[in-house]
């Protein structure tokens, strides 16, 4: 029993990473119907920027603001810089392609992903980079037989906080309503006076920022980052998005958490080597019986 509980916490930690990345996918998809393949690389970029801030700002930051100050600074700098990159990528690579439809945009997104990933490699080199372990709290608690690290608790709390804020913004504010309206029907929304450009600006600021924050958290949690890791996380997060029902914000959150837990169950009760097969099989089964995902609404076919 204690084993299951411990694995569950591990699963939720990974799941919250997936959920935060999935939000970026889901928002972009909801409004633009675009699978933003570059999103995984925003996450990687955030991770590397956080690394640079921690490593090169060490003396300054940690001396003045302590361990927590250093972590916060890394997170904030990464989030702000990556959201700027996000807007630039949207302007340069996506906006000129929108008029041509969604498929060219997918290729453009793949191109942007290749570009970003290799730019990261050129800037930081092909080797793995290590987050400095002395700058990260590494306490762990033992409750009976259960081991939990302090960092795990921080990550879980922080992720749930972020998700709740986003949930509130999207579901309860006027601006959130505008985004949902734009996602539902862009043309009608425009007629209702919703500034579509503002909506796009918003999702391409917030999505990459969330990805970058996740990147920094992943860096601190595992301490090791590589320029290709965005691909893996991106694929999983995209899976989570679909599992929850694409374009559906709460769906993406739950999709991510469920995916993390499923992965954990597959790894501990079936086999670690087969766990991704298990995850994809569940996904396929869910889609066979609920073709629009767990939380997706049934969309009437437009004729």
Partner 1 sequence: MKSLKYLVVVGALVFLFAPSLSAADAQPVVIGLQGPITGAWAYEGQMAKQSCEIAAELINKKGGILGGRKIELRVVDDAGEPKTGALAAQKLVGQKDVVASVSTYGSSVCEPASNIYEKFKKVNIGYGVTAVRLTERDFKYFFRTCGRDDSQGKFFATAVPKKFKAKRIAIMHDNTAFGKGLAEDTKRALEAMVKSKAVSIVYYDAITPGEKDYKVSLTNLRESKPDVWYFTGYYAEAALLVSQARDIGITCPFVGGNAAINDEFVKIAGLKLAKGCYMTNEPLPGDLPYKQAKEFLAAYKAKYGDIPSSPWPIYAADALNIIAYAVDKTKSTNSDVLAAYLRDKVNRVPGITGPIGFTAQGDREGVPFYLYVVDGKGKIVIAK
Partner 2 sequence: MPVNTNSTGSARTLSVPRWIMPMLAGAILLIYPFLVSDYYIDIAFYFGIYALLGLSLNIVLGEVGLFDLGHAGFYAIGAYVTAILNTRYGIPIFVLLPVSGLAAALFAYIVCSPIIHLKGDYLCIVTIGVGEIVRIALINNPFDLTGGPNGVFGIDFPRIGELLVIDSSLEYYFLIWAVVGLSIIGLISLQNSRIGRAWNCIREDGIAASASGIDVRYYKLLAFVLGAGLAGIAGNIYASKLMCVSPESFSFWESCLMFCIVLIGGMGSIPGVLIGAAFISLFPEIFRPFAMYRMLVFGSVMILMMMFRPGGFWPRKRGGVSYRSLMEDSGD
272 binds, among partner 2, partner 1, none (CB under 5 to 8 A by kind): partner 1
- The two tokens of residue 182 are 């734009």
Of residues 75 through 114, those in contact with partner 2 by CB under 8 A are: 92-93, 96-97, 99-108, 110-114
Antiparallel, parallel or unpaired: β 224-225 and 129-130: antiparallel
Instruction: Compute the half-sphere exposure of residue 227: CA atoms within 13 Å on the CB side of its CA.
Output: 15
Out of 5, 121, 153, 169, which residue is the one contacting partner 2 (CB under 8 A)? Answer: 121
Residues 49, 50, 54: CA angle, nearest 5 degrees: 115
State which of residues 127, 172, 298, 302 lies at the interface with partner 1 (CB under 8 A).
127
Name the helix (H) or strand (E) containing 79. helix 58-89
Contact by Cβ (8 Å): 180, 43: no
We find the least distance from the C-beta atom of residue 129 to partner 1, in angstroms, to be 9
Residue whose structure tokens are 């640079």: 52
Q: Which residue has the tokens 């990805």?
A: 211
Burial profile 246-257: b = 16 or more Cβ within 10 angstroms, e = fewer: bbbbbbbbbbbb
129 touches partner 2 (CB under 8 A) = no
Q: At closest approach, how far in Å is the CB of 224 from partner 1?
A: 5
Of all helices (H) and strands (E), which one includes residue 143?
Answer: strand 140-143
Residue 270 in contact with partner 2, rule: CB under 8 A: no
Site for partner 2 in 160-219 (CB under 8 A): none
- Residue 147 makes contact with partner 1 by CB under 8 A: yes
Contact 72, 54 (CB under 8 A): no
By a kind-dependent CB cut-off of 5 to 8 A, residue 49 interacts, out of partner 1, partner 2, none, with: none
Shortest reach from residue 95's CB to partner 1, in Å: 21
Shortest Å distance, C-beta 20 to partner 2: 19
- State the Cα–Cα distance between residues 125 and 189, nearest whole angstrom: 45
Choosing among partner 1, partner 2, none, which partner's interface includes residue 115 (Cβ < 5 to 8 Å by kind)? Answer: partner 2
Question: Pattern 195-234, binding to partner 1, x per CB under 8 A?
Answer: -----------------------x--xxxx-x-xx--x--
271 alpha-carbon distance from chain centroid: 26
Q: Binding residues for partner 2, per CB under 8 A? A: 29, 33, 35, 92-93, 96-97, 99-108, 110-119, 121-122, 231, 235, 238-239, 242, 246, 273-274, 276-277, 280-281, 283-284, 287-288, 291-293, 301, 303
């Amino acid at each position: 029993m204690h084993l299951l509980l411990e694995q569950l916490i591990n699963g939720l930690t990974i799941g919250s990473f997936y959920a935060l990345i999935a939000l970026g996918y889901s928002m972009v998809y909801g409004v633009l119907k675009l699978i933003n393949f570059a999103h995984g690389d925003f996450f990687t970029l955030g991770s590397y920027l956080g690394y640079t801030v921690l490593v090169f700002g060490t003396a300054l930051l940690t001396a003045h603001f302590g361990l927590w100050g250093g972590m916060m600074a890394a997170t904030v700098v990464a989030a702000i810089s990556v959201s700027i990159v996000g807007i630039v990528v949207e302007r340069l690579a996506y906006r000129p392609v929108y008029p041509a439809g969604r498929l060219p945009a997918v290729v453009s997104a793949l191109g942007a992903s290749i570009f970003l990933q290799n730019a990261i490699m050129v800037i930081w080199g092909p080797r793995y980079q290590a987050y400095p372990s002395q700058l990260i709290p590494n306490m762990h608690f033992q409750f009976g037989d259960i081991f939990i690290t302090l960092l795990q608790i921080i990550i879980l709390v922080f992720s749930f906080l972020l998700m709740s804020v986003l949930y509130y913004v999207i579901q309860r504010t006027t601006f959130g309503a505008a985004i949902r309206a734009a996602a539902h029907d862009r043309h009608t929304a425009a007629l209702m006076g919703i500034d579509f450009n503002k909506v796009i600006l918003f999702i391409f600021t917030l999505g990459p920022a969330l990805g970058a924050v996740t990147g920094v958290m992943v860096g601190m949690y595992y301490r090791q980052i590589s320029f290709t890791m965005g691909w893996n996380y991106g694929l999983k997060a995209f899976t989570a998005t679909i599992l929850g029902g694409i374009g559906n914000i709460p769906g993406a959150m739950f999709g991510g958490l469920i995916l993390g837990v499923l992965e954990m169950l597959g790894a501990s009760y079936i086999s670690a080597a087969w766990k991704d097969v298990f995850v994809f099989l569940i996904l396929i089964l869910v889609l066979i019986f609920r073709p629009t995902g767990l939380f997706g609404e049934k969309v009437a076919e437009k004729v």
